[in-house]
Amino acid sequence: MIPEIARKLLSLVNVKKNMDCLEVYAEHRIASMHIVLEQSEDIKDIHIAQGAIRELKRIKTLRDEVIANGKK
C-alpha cells in the first residue's frame, strides 16, 4: 500500500467501531460469494467470486496494513 493512502486511511482504521462495521460487512459479502461459488456453473463467475473473497478478506487485515505503511 502506498504510504500516502495509508496515512489517509489511518483515521478510518483507528476507530474500533469503524473496523467492526467493516468486518461485519466483509463477512456478509464473503458468505454471499460462497453461495455464488457453490451454485455457479460458469467458470467466469467462479473466478469473479474468488477474487471478491480475496479482497474482502483483506478488509480484515486492513488495519495492520495501514498502520504498517502509514508510518513510512
> Read out DSSP for 8-60?
HHHHHHTSHHHHHHHHHHHHHHHHHHHHHHHH---HHHHHHHHHHHHHHHHHH
Would you state the pLDDT for residue 71?
75
Nearest to 2 by CA among 65, 61, 60: 65
Domain range for 54 is 3-70
Counted domains in the chain = 1
Q: Look at residue 72 and tell me whether its pLDDT is greater than 70.
A: no
Please, which residues have CB within 8 angstroms of residue 38's CB and are 6 or more apart in sequence? none
Averaged pLDDT for residues 15-42: 95
Averaged pLDDT for residues 38-51: 96
